[in-house]
Structure 1
Amino acid sequence: MALLALAVLILLAGSGDPSSPVRAARSEPTQDRASLLAFMGGLRHEPRVQWDANASACEWAGVRCDSGRTAVLELRLPGVGLLGSVVADTLGRISGLRALSLRSNRLSGPIPAELADLAQLKRLFLQDNLFSGVIPPGLVGLTLLHRLDLSSNNLTGPVPFALNNLTRLKGLFLENNHLSGSLPSISIASLKYFNVSNNELNGSVPRSLEGFPASSFVGNLDLCGAPLPPCEPFFPSPSAAPAAIEVPTKRSSKRLSTAAIVGIIVASIVVFLVLLLLVVCLFFRLRRKGAFRTKEKSAKGSESGTRATAAATGGRSIETGMTSSSKDEMSGSASALVEAERNKLVFVGSGAAEYSFDLEDLLRASAEVLGKGTMGTSYKAVLEEGTIVVVKRLKDVTAAKPEFDALMHTLGLTERPNLVAPRAYYYSTDEKLLVLDFLPAGSLSSLLHGSRGAGRSPLGWESRMRVALAAGRGLAHLHTTAQLVHGNIKASNVLLRAGDLDSAAFSDFALHPLFHPAPRIRPAGYQAPEVLETRRPTFKSDVYSFGVLLLELLTGKAPNQASLNEEGIDLPRWVQSVVREEWTAEVFDAELMRYADIEEEMVQLLQIAMACVSAVPDSRPDIAEVVRMMEQITDRTEGNDGPKSSQVDPATGAGDVGN
């Protein structure tokens, strides 16, 4: 009995001492514990978080385990002063995690892609931090998510359409970031709370999201459509459209009844018969007066007969049979024709051979807002016969019609695989429209910043070089052959042709002469220092902007990314500061680090880019020299630059995956 009592006392004592061997024998989530320690050890933090290494992980502040204490189910550390980037291979290893809250800290860098491994996650709260980069595509694989809050960070890039995969989502919060592009159609039946306010989104609000209040979308200056103010059509009011085009009549005819249609047909036939009768009567009347005797008298060949015939016909011309009064009537019709000629759609370059529509067809086309900018609004127009074009509706144009015509015909002659030249234009007092080819593969901006994270192939080194070289060749043609300044260089204006990155093309070029003074048509980060003052782009400022584009390809960072601009710093200055500290490797995009033996080529392209962004314009190389140096890089590395593919899908980057 004494021995039994002693054993009971030992057990009771052990249960009260966390460090005792008996207590340690209880269940412990060993792997989750190690992951939590590694996560916390990689961050700086204020002393508000004190985890006792000798205690069970299930007893740590912010940690909740399952009933058997075998797995960590929740990690909640809101507002505890966490600072820095999340170390890789830490949070993603806590496989049973159901809820993760790191809100209201100072965490920076990209949102960890390894969160996509947390298949059991239902609630993710990362708001009020300093996370940058794009929304990780891997998050759309967390199909159990009920609530996703990424608001109040520095996120850039598009809102992924693949969010539709989160079929159980009840709340999606993306407000107060720097997300750009058009808003995808998100149709999730369970979604009750949605907010994308205060971003840089453009285009129209999809119908699937019209049921949310306007407060969910405010702060996006280029976003329109219900519940926001309606998007502007090609022509904002009926008076702005040409008078000769009766578009509303044609549309309303589809709603006419059968009786009305029959009535219209009968009335048309009656009017036609009446007109025909009048013409016949007029014919016989003229014949009785001898209108046709002129032919018989002219056959005699006498000059006097000719004069007599002219007198007998009341001054009619023999060649035309038209009286002077008829000429007066025709002069009014001619003026109307001239006015109609002025207001027609004018095709330039090869547009006349490739397209067969007119302005009326364009007005009847179904239109979708692609985006808004300082120069105007772009629409995707689908014509009735299936042709798809881009219509750019310019605003605040100050150029007169002769200047506008001359520039459009000049731009129409710049047709090359690496340039998207205008195909047609329309000019009137109220409206100025450009018609361009529609390239469905998208832009370099969407491909570069929208293809990161788990589940999608990033844009590889070879593909980046091909796009850069293609864009450089297009710009070189503008500068050397066409003698035109682009004036609007940015990644969203580098458009891609499906399956052929070597035919990447610059768009929206050389339009600045239409405006006075030239608008600030490039977003902050692409502008050369001198253009900020003069607002007049030059060949050298184009080279500067192209250099920023090369830095964007090398770093994977958008030039206007908020994390760079918190202290007024732009991408070139950020790169210079990192290189100055001899941290050159930190400059390059982490997505490029999986490619072997390309460090030398990346450094060479970095040197070219830094020469282009020199603060002194005269120190910058000409674009032809830039292209030559880039070609030397590709010539030296042909066949030995890491993973390759002959065909790359611009929508996903597929084909650029490693071996």
Structure 2
Amino acid sequence: MNSPLFFTTTLFFSLLLSLPPSFSDLATDRAALLALRSAVGGRSLLWNISERTPCAWPGVNCSSNPPQVVELRLPGMGLYGQIPPNTVGNLTHLHTLSLRFNVLSGPLPSDLSSLSSLRNLYLQDNAFSGPIPEFLSSLTNLVRLNLAHNNFSGSIPPSLNNLTRLATLYLENNHLTGSIPDLNSSSLVQLNVSDNQLAGTIPSRFSGMPASSFLGNALCGGPLLSCNGTGKGKGKKLSGGAIAGIVIGSLIGLFLIVLILLFLCRKRRDHEVGSKDEAAMKKGDIEIPHEKSVESGVVDSLSSALPAVTVRKEKGEGNGGGVGGKNLVVFGNMARTFDLEDLLRASAEVLGKGTFGTAYKAVLEMGVVVAVKRLKDVSVPEKEFREKIEVVGKMDHENLVPLRAYYYSKDEKLLVFDYMPMGSLSALLHGNRGAGRTPLNWETRSGIALGAAHGIAYLHAQGSTVSHGNVKSSNILLTKSYEARVSDFGLAQLVGPSSTPNRVAGYRAPEVTDPRKVSQKADVYSFGVLLLELLTGKAPTHALLNEEGVDLPRWVQSVVREEWTAEVFDLELLRYQNVEEEMVQLLQLAIDCADQYPDKRPSMAEVASRIEELCRSSLQQEQDSSIDIVNATQEQRD
């Protein structure tokens, strides 16, 4: 027993036991993390194991006093295999565990029951299997539990009632059977069990939840159809009075609908004819009607939304004057169309609020429709503002939204653009995902991608320092034929940093520190995110992606992993099997654009060229398919 090995081992454990408890805990946490790193495959966890403390490792967060691992977040890391015992289960002070968007499989290790402090458990989008373990009900501090999109089977444990603090329970897209237990936790506000194999009656306390939380099962009651069914002669016959009431109510409803239609027709006719009283007003003496809320909807006129904008009759007054001394500076032949008075008299509708201010749709008396952007937080002096806007006004490309005019005063800065009737790409992709939605096909999406790429490539061709600065789907506007027009270019340099947060909705490149100074390579990154949005149908701000911080490029890479799969594509695209190769190529281009390292990203000219080749290839395939169909039909006739 006096061997050197025994002496060394005894000394090591004596020193470990002599350490303060916090250091001992941190050493145990470090050993557990390294064991996890060795046990699971996939993307290498970039941890500097030479560091004594794991608190600086990516995905690992520690408390300060005492130092203990309290968060482990490894979403979308391509991890696969099973989680063995004595790894995660040894992180006994853990508050949050996120292993979502990986390929981890097998049952959950039983020693997770030792995580008594756990509040958030995110395991969705893996391949975990087996029954939902009973030991989860012993984690009484759980607030959020997400096991969605796995292979769990068996019933939902009624013992989950023990989780009295549970607010979110997501179990959708598994293989669960049986009924929904009557989970009576008063704190449970989010529940989703859709797309399983559940049956029976939905507990009454869930009747106020959305029906989508229960679809894809054999359930009834609550927000779904009544379990008693309808018809089959079981219901009582309606009384004569009830029938009369229904008839009278229907007639009244029909009468109201007719009145509303008449009112709308009258309003449209009045709008087309215009107001003769307004036409008779004296120039320079425009009456501003009573001010209304301009947050949304229609306002009486643009002047009511912009009370600080005034028409100056003295020629040249107002720092530059513009055409006719009206302080509206116009570009091209727009001077012969309208002036500032015409613009202020136009009926206006709020289109929405963006990064740089509020946009209005303005319909002038002569029928011209324009979009007016009211800039906020302009931080540059007047001279610099006018110089930069002059540059923007000279940009001329078929895939850019042209700037037609601008107005500058101390209190208001307005930009006048062509109005794009089909709205933005963002609205087209995410505005209506319900039953009445028209699917957005591959031809339309690839055409929009090509047009946007050409527009941004044109901007970059104007000089090495010229960039867009705010590429995102809400700044890609569409014509009636769904052709892309890039808007808001050059505006990022005019406004203060408060208007352009460091990471605008997931599009901002990681190297950008000053949102007013965005390089062309940073534009390419943003365009890559936009392409991923086109292909996946998911916005960078999608709730599932941002539940705790994974961005869209990282999510795509985690889903794609080592081979291309259909999982990543929008379901609306999966019906177009003949262009699958082009879809994969565009996906690869998007990933190249969204590379973390700027030097590895292609130029926008190269991006536009590659998309053009894809579109040409798709068109050729479509033509070849049409020829094959014609030939086959001819052969049948012969």
TM-score range, shorter chain: 0.5 to 0.7
After superposition, where does 1:435-450 map in structure 2 within 5 Å? Answer: 435-450=416-431
State the 1:485 CA deviation: 0.8
Give the letter aligned to residue 486 of structure 1: H
On the 8 A contact 1:361/1:383 being kept in 2, the answer is yes
Q: Which residue of 1 aligns with 2:92?
A: none
What per-residue deviation string (whole Å, max 9, x for no partner) do you get for residues 291-332 of structure 1?
A: xxxxxxxxxxxxxxxxxxxxxxxxxxxxxxxxxxxxxxxxxx
- In 1, are the aligned partners of 2:492 and 2:500 still within 8 Å (CA)? no
Match of 1:47 among 157, 168, 186: 157
Q: State the match for 1:549 in structure 2.
A: 530
Does 1:512 pair with 2:492? yes
Change (3 A) 1:123 1:461: same
The count of aligned residue pairs is 393
Tell whether 2:606 aligns with 1:498: no
Alignment counterpart, residue 347 of structure 1, candidates 330, 333, 351: 330
In structure 1, what residue type is equivalent to 2:158? R
Q: 1:617 aligns with which of 598, 602, 610?
A: 598
C-alpha contact (below 8 Å) 1:612/1:621 kept by paired residues: yes
> 2:375 aligned to 382, 385, 394, which one?
394
Q: Secondary structure at the match of 1:638?
A: helix
1:485 and 2:500 matched: no
Alignment of 1:577 onto 2:558 = yes
Q: Is the 8 A contact 1:448 1:553 kept in 2?
A: yes
Residue 613 of structure 1: how far off its partner (Å): 0.6
**Counterpart check, 1:242 vs 2:290:** no
SS of the equivalent of 2:420 reads coil
1:547-602 CA-to-partner distances (Å, cap 9, x unmatched) read: 00010111110011121011211101111222226463321112211111322212
8 Å Cα contact 2:312-2:318 kept in structure 1: no
CA shift for structure 1 position 85: 6.6
Letter in 1 for 2:485: A
Change (3 A) 1:504 1:101: farther
Question: How far did residue 448 of structure 1 move?
Answer: 1.4
- Cα separation, 2, equivalents of 1:424 and 1:102: 55
Q: 1:602 to 1:337 in 2, by over 3 A?
A: closer
Residues in 1 aligned to 2:312 and 2:439: alpha-carbon distance in whole angstroms = 51
Contact 1:519/1:535, CA 8 A, preserved across alignment? no
Alignment RMSD: 4.7
Tell me, yes or no, if structure 1 residue 595 matches structure 2 residue 576: yes
Q: Is the CA contact 2:402–2:417 (under 8 Å) kept in the aligned structure 1?
A: yes
**What amino acid is aligned across from residue 331 of structure 2 in structure 1?**
V
Segments of structure 2 that go 5 or more residues without pairing to the other structure are 1-148, 161-177, 226-248, 251-256, 258-291, 627-638
Classify the secondary structure of the residue corresponding to 2:572.
helix
Aligned AA for 1:491?
S
Cα shift at 1:399: 2.3
Q: Does the 8 A contact of 1:44 with 1:83 survive in 2?
A: no
Distance 1:385 1:345, change over 3 A: same
Report the Cα distance in structure 2 between the residues aligned to 1:405 and 1:539, rounded to whole angstroms.
23
1:148 maps to none
Does the 8 Å CA contact 2:158/2:183 hold for their aligned counterparts? Answer: no
Note the 1:402-417 alignment, pairs <5 A. 402-417=383-398
The alpha-carbon deviation at position 469 of structure 1 amounts to 0.6
Counting only pairs closer than 5 Å after superposition, residues 60-71 of structure 1 correspond to structure 2 as none
Structure 1 CA distance for aligned equivalents of residues 385 and 315 of structure 2: 24
The answer to whether structure 1 residue 464 and structure 2 residue 445 are counterparts is: yes
Alpha-carbon shift at residue 226 of structure 1 (Å): 9.3
Matched-pair contact (CA < 8 Å) for 1:487–1:512:
yes
Q: 1:362 to 1:99 in 2, by over 3 A?
A: farther
1:7-26 mapped onto 2 (5 Å cutoff): none
| DSSP-derived class of the 2:391 partner | helix
Q: Which residue among 82, 87, 95 is the counterpart of 2:195?
A: 87
Map of 2:228 onto structure 1: none
Deviation at 1:454, TM superposition (A): 3.2
Secondary structure of residue in 1 paired with 2:395: coil
Q: What is the correspondence of 1:149-548 to structure 2 with a 5 Å cutoff?
A: 225=293, 240-242=308-310, 244=312, 344-352=327-335, 356-481=337-462, 484-499=466-481, 501=482, 503-517=483-497, 519-520=499-500, 523-532=504-513, 535-548=516-529
Determine the C-alpha separation between the residues in 2 that align with 1:49 and 1:620.
Answer: 52
List gaps (5 residues or longer) in structure 1.
1-38, 51-59, 64-75, 126-166, 169-186, 188-223, 246-332, 646-659
Q: Which amino acid aligns with 1:87?
A: D
Using the size of structure 2 for normalisation, the TM-score is 0.53
Aligned AA for 2:387?
A
Partner of 2:542: 561
Equivalent AA in structure 1 for residue 195 of structure 2: V
Change (3 A) 1:382 1:469: same
Amino acid across the alignment from 1:348: F
Measured after TM superposition, the shift of residue 614 of structure 1 is 0.8
Amino acid at match of 1:449: H
Deviation at 1:510, TM superposition (A): 0.9
**Partner Cα separation in structure 1 for residue 294 and residue 320 of structure 2:** 37
Task: Give the match for residue 325 of structure 1.
Answer: none
> Matched residues in 1 for 2:349 and 2:402: separation?
21
Letter of the structure 2 residue corresponding to residue 240 of structure 1: A
Q: Cα deviations across residues 431-475 of structure 1 (Å, max 9, x unaligned)?
A: 110011111111111111235343432111121111101110111
Give how far 1:240 is off.
2.6
Larger Rg: 1
Q: 2: distance between equivalents of 1:536 and 1:399?
A: 14
Cα gap change, 1:337 to 1:583, in 2 (>3 Å): closer
SS of the equivalent of 2:478 reads: strand
Q: What residue is the counterpart of 2:239 in the other structure?
A: none
1: distance between equivalents of 2:297 and 2:420? 28
